[in-house]
Structure 1
Amino acid sequence: MSDPIDAGRDVGDISLTASLRQGRLKVDTYVDESLAAFQDWSEETATEMLCNGAAPRVLTVKPSRRQEGFMGADWLWWWLDPDGVCFGMLSQAKRLHGTPGAREIDFLYRNKNGRQIDLLMHTARDFGVPAVYTLYYGLPDQRADLRCREHSQACERCRQASVSVLTALEADEIALQPRHAAAQAFVQCTPLEQLPFHDNRSRALYGYLLADGSLSPALKQFLQQPQRGARAAARVLIDRVAFERQLQFSGVSSDTVDVGSEPLFDTLPLDRGHFREPYFQHILRGLRAAPPAYVMDALVSGSLPSWVRQSVAGVVIART
């Protein structure tokens, strides 16, 4: 009998990065056509365009409204490698609003149940994954005022940033200055199609933790080598948070925590900095040696258990 991971892997020869690029281009086309017709565009439809465009390597499983009366607004992403290693993240979609000089991404949004970011973090904790935002920045020629740290005349990264990912830990800090939130988030976010690829340019980030000995040998090796697939997605996000941690003025904690056998690394640093919770634990709890049972069920049968359907809008499985 074939492995369930392989059984759900009829995805052709196209790479995951190319699939995600196709999804991003479909989002760009949707935004372009909406603006040409003088229509607004939404995060919900952009997410549908992204997932449809990235198929079949990216599989989307969502309940119909007939199946479930209550559905969350968050999407649960799982990056799944052939060897079973996987990385999960709970994503809330946000789009860019405003005009040059008055850009806005509302990380402080509040509904009758409370602040959206608090609800996102709570649900992510229940699923044992990090909380992130999928940011839709729209067409490059409509946001020429937004630039990354290494911007050039023809910046490929800024072009790819139409669909990007930002950790909720960073968004929580960025939200403290709402007038600059959209521009700062653009600087710190990572284009979605870059997540499965890690080039290791940031290996020197962790000197402050290497010095105090709070990294296990396995974790140290993970942070010192380039990664691909699910490991890369986790590494890109922890690198982003670690970079911001270096800019924070607080002492580094040498304490560690035993997180059990489910995550790929069973011991993680407890350093927190100015973030609302320890960032290694928050990000790397989503990196696991094997996917949860509901991910395998979704691959084989396209169905989700009721407790998942009640919490998220759907599950996205990106097969690396």
Structure 2
Amino acid sequence: MASSSSKSLTFFSINLFLASFLLLSCNGLKVGFYEKSCPDAEAIVKNVINQVLAVAPSLSGPLLRMHFHDCFVRGCEGSVLLNSSTHQAEKDAEPNLTLRGFQIIDKVKAALEKACPSVVSCADIVALVARDVVVATGGASWNVETGRRDGTVSNITEALQNLIPPFTNITGLKERFQQKGLSVKDLIVLSGGHTIGTSHCASFKNRIYNFTGKGTSNDTDPTLDTNYIAHLRKACLPNGPNNLVEMDPGSFRTFDQSYFLHVSKRRGLFQSDAALLDDSETKAYLESHKTGNSTTFFTDFGVSMVNMGRIGVLTGKEGEVRKVCSKVN
């Protein structure tokens, strides 16, 4: 017969396990949600993404960015994918006009519908695709929690109110992340997503030509490296086209930690990148990851992506599972 002390230990262990389980599943998400309902779901997503990036590698950045833009407006419920006949959906808001890859999400959805009709949500597809493009571009994998349901509302005004402008200072960045339940560490780690992809000149042009509004030849952002300004001016002429510029020069198609090195040298493309030097916690992380092994950043990035992926999720009987990602059922 077990002693009273061993019984107490067993009781404690069981309750600790149950508490941990409830903590992990309280938001309705879990790793392997489709294990029985669509066992090949994640393999299907990965296969499509690998095929796409083999011929269109420039889509990696936009597809990762899509997950951010979805989660920060109404939560991670696929509202960024919805079309509007009156052009009043999230994707019609100015910050989303440069998003690309919606047709790739549709391609993934079509493959999943063929295998498992009306099972895998579009919101989960966006989350899985973000993980798979990171892996395909050299980053490490992480376990994506699934079980999200799709929202039925997409509003242009909400996108304008919730998406973080590229000129946001460190105070604003920390406040915006805190409002979504994310930490300062999440802020600096997720900023590292700028290691892949490009941006249009319009998002940073004021930093290199008309920062204070004086319009003089030297009216530039003093926090930006002068040599980098000269480089950016070659790509972005004062009255030239809205060209694309690499966010992580030299490795914008490779997921690595070189972004932190660029920012530490005052070569972050956006004011929101430069702002990471204005806070002791973000600066310390940035300085410690600007060289050396990427393992810690890769691990941290997976953790922060999971944290972001929990924002405002719809689960259970909330929302729906769209048959087509661009419209409600």
TM-score tier after normalising by the smaller chain length:
under 0.3
More strand by share: 1
